[in-house]
Structure 1
Amino acid sequence: MTTRLIQIVPRRSISPEGVGDYARLLAEQLLRDHAIRTVFVSGSPLPPHERLRDEWETHELAERTSAALRATLDGITGGAPVPILLHLSGYGYQDKGTPLWLATGLERWRRSHAAAPFVTIFHELFATGPIWGSAFWLGPIQAWVARRIQRLSTAGIATTGPYAALLEGWRGERPGSTIALPVFSTIGDIENPIPAVERRASLAIFGRAGIYDAVYRERITQIEAFVIANKIDEIIDIGHRTEAPPPMIGAARVRSVGKASTTVLREELGSARFGLLDYDADRLAKSTIFAAYCAHGAVPICLSDAAGQNDGLRPGKTYLKLAADDATPVVDDAALEALQHGAKNWYQPHSLKSSADVIGRLLRQSSATTGRI
């Protein structure tokens, strides 16, 4: 018997959208493995030409207000306690990352639907920054919104262990559960990736335009040293760039792929020996690019000065970390094999299939008294 689930997302757009893509893939897996069919609620009114139209029933809010949210949910459920899976990323629902309307609307809905399972995936909690930046002033309000929603949820899912610990503290004595579940690859997984030692000595650099300065300007000398030391002969640059990468780094030719389809991405990452990203190593568990490298067998290399030992990750065991003052690592065949296996083994418990199993279980546990899932 197929049951219904409402997934609330920031937007469903034809443009690439991290949280939206994550939710769509999760919907596909929940239907395939658990007979749970998603109805989407999009929290962003979009022009008609930007709306994603696919096989999934989608209700777009006419405006970002608590009244519009409540009316949309009531229209879908008809008063029945249908489970909700909320994807919380504050900036997706409000330009300053403080969607008070979302918290208020959910509080009002919960008053009359207290028996319905309500699981929240906290993709972000709140921003931080120096006193002269907006994040310093907005962060406490963002945290207040997240705290309100956590206390409404029958279960909370954080993408990193430190996030989960904070959420658990916010829950206090209220009933419910909080778990850490690192993100899965939004371009799919490879069950049996090509061994790293059998791959061409290549390095993939995958990311949005903002990665350019870190990779090709600020850390170019360090990357060149790594390329030379590990005899890399090709660099595959993947993603939108406003400026062309250099044609060569060390002895490696740089091949620009640009924005690529999922098929091309999977082919490139499934054959690259290494995959480079610029990211806070303490939060790697929430990076879909890091997950994509792990899932496709490309040994991840993270440019970061952070310790990078959260969520079971260990530099030199599950990935390589290059801090600004690190010596250049030389990776032999044995180390390559160990790193690839370490990254893949770390990733498996929260692959797309594993994540859908965890979320399906949380929905069932939350609905033990309703019989709805």
Structure 2
Amino acid sequence: MNIIQFVPRLPPAIDGVGDYALNLACQLRQDFGIKTHFIVSDPTWTGATHIEGFPVRKVTVHSADTLLSLLPSDRAATVLLHYVGYGYAKRGCPVWLADGLQRWRTASTHRTIVTMFHEVYASGRPPWTSAFWLFPLQRNLASQLVQLSDRCLTSKQGYGDILTYLSQGKHTSIPCLPVFSNIGEPERVLPLTERQRQLVVFGGREKRLRVYQNSWSILSHTCQHLEIEQILDIGTPTQLSLSTIDHVPIMEMGQQSAKEISSILSNSLVGFFDYPTDFLAKSTIFAAYCAHGVLPVSAQCTALPVDGIAPGKHYWFPDKQTTDLKSVTQMQAIANNAYNWYQTHNLSVQAKTFATQLTALSQPKFRNNNS
């Protein structure tokens, strides 16, 4: 089976959605023989014409006609769209994408579209942002795409509920798959007692800046309480003058390969992040920490579990008054819970789910069924 995967960008660009799609393509090929042809939507993207053995073409102009010129003209073909509005248009309103796919899909009843909604639409707040004014259009585009799609998936249950509503009865069961680790999944993870007492701050520049600028005191408390000996900062340089935090040295590692990051995490005690915990299911940073068996430590906390992720069970929130860890056994329990939660939707599980959604569409008896 051959499919078209449509993405904003691919490596060498730093793009979580592109990394997700590329890892998924490799697993689909390995486990199910499903081959991918990629279409990249960013006209400024520069990369190879083949990546990991997959052909890659690029949209040169954002228009429905240009998109149609790149999509297969076969009567029967399948597109897997990785949707995130801001990945396809500056203001999050890719009208050209929706129009092009609509025209392509309706030209033949044997063509199919599967959409992975990495996002649905912006919240529309606050009023001085463009999202406030463009929220209705973003919502209408999401509604158009979910109704156009033969199958839908998403990374967050809240998104799934929104999409089910927007589908107006077409999709009654949308699989929700929290994202997998884009830097690999080690076959074996060391217990925390066998790791270096080092803490990793990993991710995009803005996310790491938030750690150092907004969560300094929580990071310091974590280091002191867990007797951290060094902090490893991994990613695009922050341009901050980082040296120590309460006498704990900070080593700026810069950008590293996925293999190198995986090796570092596999030997580290803690993975620290400052990310809205309501959205951890779509965080590739949290996914990487879980997959590598580190103790995830959050600078934020939700009162109730979201997407099966609970504070104190799947990550530690270092509240000085109430939640200090008392033993390595407690630390290991949290790391184990995070690791086990991750295994329910790891890369192999997701590839199987996507393969099921894609291949079901090739059977005529499923052609017009609801999801």
CA distance in 1, matches of 2:49, 2:256: 19
Partner amino acid for 1:9?
Answer: V
Q: Partner of 2:174 in structure 1?
A: 178
> Distance in 1 between the 2:48 and 2:93 partners?
23
2:156 pairs with 1:166 = no
CA 1:102/1:331 → structure 2, altered by over 3 Å: closer, same or farther? farther
C-alpha change, 1:223 and 1:213, in structure 2 (3 Å) is same
Matching residue of 2:139: 143
Aligned counterpart, 2:207: 211
Specify the alignment match of 1:272 in structure 2.
268
Distance 2:193 2:148 in 1: 49
RMSD: 2.1
Provide the C-alpha distance between the structure 2 equivalents of 1:114 and 1:53, rounded to a whole number of angstroms.
30
**Amino acid in the other structure paired with 1:204:** V
1:232-287 superposed Cα distances (whole Å, 9 cap, x missing partner): 11111111123245322224221111111112101111111110111110010000
| Residues 77 and 110 in structure 2, CA contact (< 8 A), matched pair in contact too | no
Deviation at 1:4?
0.5
1:316 pairs with one of 298, 303, 312: 312
Q: Which moved more, 1:277-286 or 1:253-262?
A: 253-262
Q: Which amino acid aligns with 2:108?
A: H
Which residue is equivalent to 1:39? 37
Q: Return the letter of the residue paired with 2:5.
A: Q
* Secondary structure of residue in 2 paired with 1:321: coil
Partner of 1:99: 94
Equivalent residues of 2:12, 2:47 under 8 A apart: yes
| Equivalent residue, structure 2, for 1:84 | 79
- Could you list the per-position Cα deviations for residues 177-222 of structure 1 after superposition, in whole angstroms to 9, with x for gaps in the alignment? 4121110001110121111122122211002221344322322122
1:296-341: CA deviation from partner (whole Å, max 9, x where unpaired): 1111112224436211111111112357x86562351111221111
Q: CA deviation at 1:13?
A: 4.7
The one-letter amino acid paired with 1:137 is W
1: distance between equivalents of 2:171 and 2:221? 53
User: In structure 1, what residue type is equivalent to 2:10?
Assistant: R
Residue 352 of structure 2 is aligned with which of 351, 357, 360?
357
Q: TM-score, normalised by structure 1?
A: 0.92
The answer (yes or no) to whether the contact 1:212–1:241 under 8 Å persists in 2 is: no
CA contact (8 A) 1:273 1:298 kept: yes
Structure 1's 176 and 106: CA in aligned 2 closer, same or farther, altered over 3 A? farther
CA distance in 2, matches of 1:245, 1:20: 31
Change (3 A) 1:182 1:212: closer
- TM-score, normalization by structure 2: 0.92
Determine the structure 1 residue equivalent to 2:250: 254
Which of the residues 102, 108, 113 maps onto 1:113?
Answer: 108
Partner of 1:340: 335
- Which of the residues 196, 199, 215 maps onto 1:200? 196
Instruction: Name the SS of the counterpart of 1:210 in structure 2.
Output: helix
User: Which sits farther off after the overlay, 196-205 or 180-189?
Assistant: 196-205
1:158 Cα deviation from its structure 2 partner? 1.1
Could you list the runs of 5+ residues in structure 1 that have no partner in the other structure?
none
CA distance in 2, matches of 1:136, 1:331: 45
Alignment of 1:126-137 (within 5 A): 126-128=121-123, 129-137=125-133
Pair 1:345–1:305, CA change in 2 (3 A)? closer
The percent of aligned pairs where both chains have the same amino acid is 34
Deviations 1:12-45 (A, max 9, x none): 3522221111111111110100010001112222
1:241 aligns to 2:233 (yes or no): no
TM superposition shift of 1:108 = 1.1
In the TM superposition, what whole-angstrom CA distance separates every residue of 1:134-158 from its partner, at most 9, and x where no partner exists? 2211222212111110011111111
| Mean CA deviation greater in 50-59 or 331-340 | 50-59
Cα distance, 1:312–1:347 mapped onto 2, change above 3 Å: same
CA–CA distance in structure 1, aligned partners of residues 187 and 253 of structure 2: 25
Over residues 32-76 of structure 1, what are the superposed CA-to-partner deviations in whole Å (9 max), with x where a residue is unaligned? 0001000111222236x5556422112222311111112221xx3
In 1: Cα distance, 2:263 partner to 2:241 partner? 21
**How has the CA–CA distance of structure 1 residues 105 and 32 changed in structure 2, closer, same or farther, with 3 Å as cutoff?**
same
- Please state whether the residue corresponding to 1:70 is helix, strand or coil: helix
- One-letter amino acid matched to 1:355: Q
Task: Please tell me whether residue 18 in structure 1 is matched to residue 16 in structure 2.
Answer: yes
8 Å CA contact retained: 1:13, 1:52 = no
Q: Give secondary structure in 1 for the equivalent of 2:205.
A: coil
Indicate if the aligned counterparts of 2:275 and 2:300 stay in contact, CA closer than 8 A. yes
Change (3 A) 1:21 1:308: farther
Q: Secondary structure at the match of 1:320?
A: coil
**2: distance between equivalents of 1:249 and 1:216?**
10
Distance 1:308 1:268 in 2: 31
